[in-house]
Amino acid sequence: MKFATPTSTVLYSIEETIKAYRRLSQQNISSIVPDITVDQALILIIIDREDKTQSEIADLVFKDYASITRIIKLMLNKNYLTKTIDDADKRKAELKITQIGKEIIEKLNPVIKKNREIALNTLSEQDIKQLFEILNKITQNCKKNSK
Amino acid sequence: MKFATPTSTVLYSIEETIKAYRRLSQQNISSIVPDITVDQALILIIIDREDKTQSEIADLVFKDYASITRIIKLMLNKNYLTKTIDDADKRKAELKITQIGKEIIEKLNPVIKKNREIALNTLSEQDIKQLFEILNKITQNCKKNSK
DNA sequence: AGTATTTACTTGATATATCAAATAAATATT
DNA sequence: AATATTTATTTGATATATCAAGTAAATACT
């Protein structure tokens, strides 16, 4: 049973693209805030924009609860965040950005904006719309057949 | 400086798609060969199809040399592969699939084919062509601006 | 009320990602 | 030939991914 080489499929291209974007993002982020990862930055921004529990964050960024626990822990150690027990539901954590965290977000905002602009620079509105739609088809296909 | 929530960009959709596909793939692979990962399977197949050095493999699958070293090591432990020193250039490794490895590849081939079919099921030829092109634009944009 | 189930989160084990530093062999340079 | 540089791979440290098992609080059920 011989068929297309793995490296000739679109799914391989998707991997390539996301890795290229992650590399670009990490490089530019590191040049402004040396000690933060792309994932930490994303989660920091999400917490800043809206109060979320860890499991809500996990669902939002497609990560495992375990990963979120560890990523949060690293940011607690760096004092970007505080974590307290939710009074209304003691299983839940209340996450708040510290002043340090806020300053980092301010520094990151323009970098993140620029990263997106660089990545999507040569794309038309139409390209982006189509990309959304096609990716969504694939995602739905995969989700329907797993879990 | 307020701008689009990270979770509203296509780049986020790309992440979502690739994770959904990886999950589907791992589930279906595990149901046939319980002790192999998606990454190991990919690399095993690449080695089987063409003799490649570790660094060539790394470049091909967008992974770090260090990652390849470790992935190979795990497959050596499971006797999917043998590794010997290349006679012509003693820095290089010669990787060969064992009988066990070959049998695993035979089992995996239909699963991998099916995973792709599931993922791309609802896409037209046109969709796939466009997806390739748009992803390639993004990849080029990112690569031009990093490294 | 007491038990069972679910929910939110944590921890452990193992695989992979990334960067930096190290080793050894091959190649280039003087 | 001796030294410098490059290439192929490895190792260490730390971050993240994934699965399984565990804890504690909240909710549902009898």
pLDDT at B146 over 90: no
Is residue A10 in some structural domain?
A: yes
Is residue A135 in some structural domain?
A: no
pLDDT at A1 over 70: no
CATH number of the domain that residue A53 is part of? 1.10.10.10
Is residue B135 in some structural domain?
A: no
Number of domains within chain A: 1
Is residue B127 in some structural domain?
A: no
Q: How far is the CA of B67 from the C1' of C14 (A)?
A: 14
Q: Does residue A29 contact residue A108 with C-beta atoms inside 8 Å?
A: yes
Measured in angstroms, the CA of A16 and the nearest CA of chain B are apart by 7
Q: pLDDT of A31-54, one tens digit each?
A: 999 999 999 999 999 999 999 999
CB contact under 8 A, B23 and A128: no
Mean residue pLDDT across chain B: 94
Q: Measured between beta carbons, which residues in chain B are less than 8 angstroms from residue A116?
A: 4, 9, 11
Question: Residue A43 CB closer than 7 angstroms to strand C?
Answer: no
CB pairs under 8 A between A and B: 169
Chain A 103-132 residues whose Cβ is under 7 Å from strand C: none
Q: What number is the average pLDDT over the span B30-34?
A: 95
Q: Measured between beta carbons, which residues in chain A are less than 8 angstroms from residue B46?
A: 6-7
The residue written with tokens 């967008």 in the block is B62
Q: pLDDT of B65-79, one tens digit each?
A: 999 999 999 999 999
Is residue A126 in some structural domain?
A: no
Is residue B146 in some structural domain?
A: no
Which range of residues forms the domain containing residue B42?
A: 8-118
What is the percent of chain B with per-residue pLDDT over 90, rounded to a whole number? 92
What stretches of chain B show up as alpha helix (H) in DSSP? 10-32, 38-49, 54-61, 65-77, 99-120, 125-144
Is residue B132 in some structural domain?
A: no
Q: pLDDT of A65-121, one tens digit each?
A: 999 999 999 999 999 999 999 999 999 999 999 999 999 999 999 999 999 999 999
What stretches of B33-98 show up as alpha helix (H) in DSSP? 38-49, 54-61, 65-77
B133: left (phi over 0), alpha (psi -120 to 50) or beta: alpha
Q: pLDDT of A99-112, one tens digit each?
A: 999 999 999 999 99
Question: Residue A70 CB closer than 7 angstroms to strand C?
Answer: yes
- The C-alpha atoms of residue B68 and residue B104 are separated, in whole angstroms, by 19
Is residue B47 in some structural domain?
A: yes
Burial (CB count <10 Å: 0-12, 13-18, 19+), residue A56: middle
